[in-house]
Amino acid sequence: MILEGIVTSTNEDGTPNIAPMGPVVDRGVTRLELRPFKTSKTFENLARTHQGVFHVTDDVEMLARAAIGCWDRRPDTLPCSAVSGWVLTDVCRWLAFRVVDLDSSGDRCRLECEIVDQGRFRDFFGFNRAKHAVLEAAILATRIGILAPEQIREELQRLESPVRKTAGDQEQRAFDLVKQFIASRIQT
C-alpha cells in the first residue's frame, strides 16, 4: 500500500529539500519503496546521498505548501543523527532511511530503502474529510501539465464540498492556497 508523507533530502549546499512523496510500504512500515520522478530534486539528492528522512504527518498545510513550493516560513528542522539529513519537527512520526537499491530505468525511479532510525513527536489527528481533500488537491497541483485542465478543474470542484463541511483553519488555508496555485497555472 501507499503511505503519503513528506521526504526531506539534502541539497548540494547542505540545506533540506522538502517534498511530498508516497512510498510503497508494508502495513508495519518496516521498509520504503520510493518512486520519485527522475526530474525531481528528491531523486537528484537521493541518487547522490543515498539517505533521507520520511515523515508521517496530518499537517496538510505543510504538505500542500511543500507540493506547490510556497512557504510563509520554512518548517523547523533538526539534524538527524542516524543519517546525514533533516527531521521536520512538526510532524507525527519520522523514519530515517538509507537507499539500498536504486533502479532508474523507467520515468519513475524505484528506490528501495531500509529504515535505520525512527521517532515520534505527536499523535495523528485522525480522519478528517477536508484533510484528505487537501491531499488530493495537492496531488492535482503537482499533475498540472500531465492531466487535462478540465479534469483538474472538475476534481478540484468536487473537493470543495468536504472542505466546506469539515475543514478547520489549517485545512481551509491549505485548500485556498492550492486552488489559487492551480488557477494561476491553468487556462480558464
Q: Which C-beta is closer to ligand FMN: that of 42 or that of 51?
A: 42
Q: Which C-beta is closer to ligand FMN: that of 19 or that of 96?
A: 19
38-67 footprint of ligand FMN as x/- string (CB under 6 A): --xxx------------------------x
Cβ contact 124:135 at 8 Å? no
- Tell which residue, 51, 50, 42, has the closest CA to residue 69: 42
4 lies in the site for ligand FMN, by CB under 6 A: yes
Residues 6+ apart with CB under 8 A from 123: 92
Minimum distance between the CB of residue 6 and ligand FMN, rounded to whole angstroms? 9
17 lies in the site for ligand FMN, by CB under 6 A: yes
Identify the residue among 8, 10, 16, 19 touching ligand FMN (CB under 6 A): 19
Look up cell 533538526; give the residue: 78
Helix ranges restricted to H, the chain: 41-49, 60-68, 129-141, 149-166, 169-185
177 lies in the site for ligand FMN, by CB under 6 A: no
112 lies in the site for ligand FMN, by CB under 6 A: no
Binding window for ligand FMN (CB under 6 A); candidates: 29-37, 54-62, 98-106, 173-181: 29-37
Residues 6+ apart with CB under 8 A from 24: 1, 2, 32, 33, 35
Packed helices 129-141 and 60-68: angle between N→C axes, nearest 10 degrees: 10
- Tell which residue, 130, 142, 154, has the closest CA to residue 185: 142
Minimum distance between the CB of residue 25 and ligand FMN, rounded to whole angstroms? 12
Q: Which C-beta is closer to ligand FMN: that of 36 or that of 162?
A: 36
Contacts with ligand FMN by CB under 6 A lie at: 4, 17, 19-22, 35-37, 40-42, 67, 135, 138-139, 142
